Amino acid sequence: MKIDRQNKPLLDQYRKLKWLIFFRALFAAVLLGSAMLMGFHESRALFSQPIVFIEYIAIALLALSLLYAFILPHLFQFVRFGYIQIFIDSLFLTGIIFVTGSFSSIFSFLYLIVIIYAGMILSRSGGMFIAFCCSVQYGVLIALEFQGVIYPVGVKIDFLIRNYNWDYVLYKVFMTLVACFGVSFLSGFLAEQERRAKKDLWAMADQVKRVERLAAIGEMASGLAHEIKNPLASLSGSIQFLREDIPYDPDRDRLMDIILREADRLTALVNDFLMFAKPQPGQIKIVELDVAMKEIINVFTADNRRNKRIHVTKQFFEGIFIEIDPEHFRQVIWNLLLNAAEAIESEGQIDIKISPVDKSHACITISDDGCGMSEETMKSIFDPFFTAKPKGTGLGLSIVQRIITSYNGLIDVQSEPEKGTTFTVKFRRVINSGLFSLSRPG
């Protein structure tokens, strides 16, 4: 059976168990080696016959490790398998402690290691469970020894439990239990943190993958948009050409109007999309705000249909300069003006102001007395493709925001339904001698 590589938590469990099996085998090998070495030198300080028991235990542990290594790849219940392994470890450990002197064994600290990796592999509750198992085993072992029910193998007479005071025995057992639970709590806590960090990391990696995929799709879409632009231009060109050539017929003219209008709409959409998906790096120039604004507004109000129903007022503070690509600036102001005009249903007013904020900032406000918007709408207006208009693209404000933030500017909106909307754009000023202004007409 193969483990699903995408299932990261499962894969993580699998890897941990693999390492556990490896380290257990390593420990068993070291135990076996050291026991054999000690047996060889006959320098059996604390234990004599038990050496042979230790060897047996080490060999059994090695065999068990082999067995685990063999069945691990065929399992999916890693957590349960982990519980079983670690519980068996605790039994083995109690065995080792028993044959190396029980109460006087130097190996009781190994309980803590088992509890630590239980916490790491089985989470906090697993660590607690193993701590509980170890405590019970150790307590029972010492109690049985204290009662004289069992007799530890090969302990020198000086080290027998009966040579100690009962309060000392109790104290040692108690401290061992405290250590077990303390360590299990700590390791569980750390493991929990590690698990959370890993989860965040995995989520982030997924997010990066998604973004990469989206970027690839965006790349493709902008390629497609480019390809649409040229045929569209030929289409409107040809229709205009035809219109001049064929004799006037009101019905046909109306149809041609529709074609031209829709072609214009498509072109605008494609341009907006390209602007949004692939913003061109700007050619930054020093722009004098009032001059540039006047030029844009002139073009804007030149449209007769707007001119008749919308009154535009200007209140411009002069001599304010900012650094921006004039084309980007035009795009920002144009989109805001267009939205303002579209918000006004029949007749209304747009007030445009340029004013200094402080020595190093200036702001432009564009207010309309149009339909305004609700709190709910306001939350989404900067999202790409969000639109409340039947024929909107929802890209206007996304482009505006993208441009403004790329110049470290700010955009703010205030709106009240039925009353109107005010957009405020804040730019960083350049302190300019005012000798040259390079604004360009839109």
60: Cα within 13 Å, side-chain hemisphere:
13
User: Rounded to the nearest whole angstrom, what is the least distance from the CB of residue 220 to ligand ADP in the complex?
Assistant: 23
| 394 binding partner (options Mg ion, ligand ADP, none; Cβ < 5 to 8 Å by kind) | ligand ADP
What is the number of the residue whose Cβ is closest to ligand ADP?
Answer: 396
Single residue of 115, 381, 403, 404 touching ligand ADP by CB under 6 A: 381
**What one-character-per-residue DSSP string does 280-310 give?**
PPP--EEEEHHHHHHHHHHHHHHSHHHHHHE
Let me know: does 294 contact 332? Beta carbons within 8 Å: no
Amino acid at 115: I
| 381 binding partner (options ligand ADP, Mg ion, none; Cβ < 5 to 8 Å by kind) | ligand ADP
| Cα–Cα distance measured from residue 65 to residue 71, given in angstroms and rounded to the nearest whole number | 10
Using the minimum distance from each CB to ligand ADP, give the nearer residue, 228 or 371: 371
User: Rounded to the nearest whole angstrom, what is the least distance from the CB of residue 328 to Mg ion in the complex?
Assistant: 16
Using the minimum distance from each CB to ligand ADP, give the nearer residue, 206 or 383: 383
Local structure of 393: helix, strand or coil? coil
Return the residues of window 105-124 that contact ligand ADP according to CB under 6 A: none
Let me know: does 225 contact 270? Beta carbons within 8 Å: yes
Return the residues of window 299-358 that contact ligand ADP according to CB under 6 A: 335, 339-340, 343
Q: Does 392 bind ligand ADP (CB under 6 A)?
A: yes
| Cα–Cα distance measured from residue 372 to residue 385, given in angstroms and rounded to the nearest whole number | 19
User: Rounded to the nearest whole angstrom, what is the least distance from the CB of residue 86 to ligand ADP in the complex?
Assistant: 58
Single residue of 101, 126, 372, 409 touching ligand ADP by CB under 6 A: 372
* Number of Cβ within a 10 Å radius of residue 332: 27
Beta pairing partners, 361:
428
Beta pairing partners, 365:
353, 424
**Cα-based distances in Å from 190 to 124, 178, 186, 203:** 9, 18, 6, 20
| Cα–Cα distance measured from residue 414 to residue 426, given in angstroms and rounded to the nearest whole number | 14
What number of chain residues touch ligand ADP (CB under 6 A)? Answer: 23
Owner of token pair 């300080």: 45
Angle (nearest 5°) at CA 359 between 358 and 364:
50
Give the range of 117-125, 262-270, 315-323, 392-400 binding ligand ADP by CB under 6 A. 392-400
Single residue of 37, 214, 388, 438 touching ligand ADP by CB under 6 A: 388
| 289 binding partner (options Mg ion, ligand ADP, none; Cβ < 5 to 8 Å by kind) | none
Using the minimum distance from each CB to Mg ion, give the nearer residue, 116 or 403: 403
Q: Does 35 bind ligand ADP (CB under 6 A)?
A: no
Single residue of 210, 213, 229, 389 touching ligand ADP by CB under 6 A: 389
Using the minimum distance from each CB to ligand ADP, give the nearer residue, 243 or 353: 353
User: Rounded to the nearest whole angstrom, what is the least distance from the CB of residue 424 to ligand ADP in the complex?
Assistant: 12
User: Rounded to the nearest whole angstrom, what is the least distance from the CB of residue 355 to ligand ADP in the complex?
Assistant: 19
Among 132, 222, 228, 221, smallest CA distance to 185 is for: 132
Using the minimum distance from each CB to ligand ADP, give the nearer residue, 50 or 394: 394
Give the range of 93-101, 203-211, 373-381, 430-438 binding ligand ADP by CB under 6 A. 373-381
Using the minimum distance from each CB to ligand ADP, give the nearer residue, 324 or 350: 350
Give the range of 17-25, 35-43, 85-93, 393-401 binding ligand ADP by CB under 6 A. 393-401
Using the minimum distance from each CB to Mg ion, give the nearer residue, 82 or 396: 396
Q: Does 269 bind ligand ADP (CB under 6 A)?
A: no
Q: Residue by residue, what is the 3-state secondary structure of 112-179?
A: HHHHHHHHHHHHHHHHHHHHHHHHHHHHHHHHHHHCCCCCCCCECHHHCHHHCCHHHHHHHHHHHHHH
Contacts with 298 (C-beta within 8 Å, 6 or more apart), sequence order: none
Beta pairing partners, 424:
365, 412
Query: Which residues contact ligand ADP by CB under 6 A?
Result: 335, 339-340, 343, 368, 370-373, 377, 381, 386-389, 392-398, 421
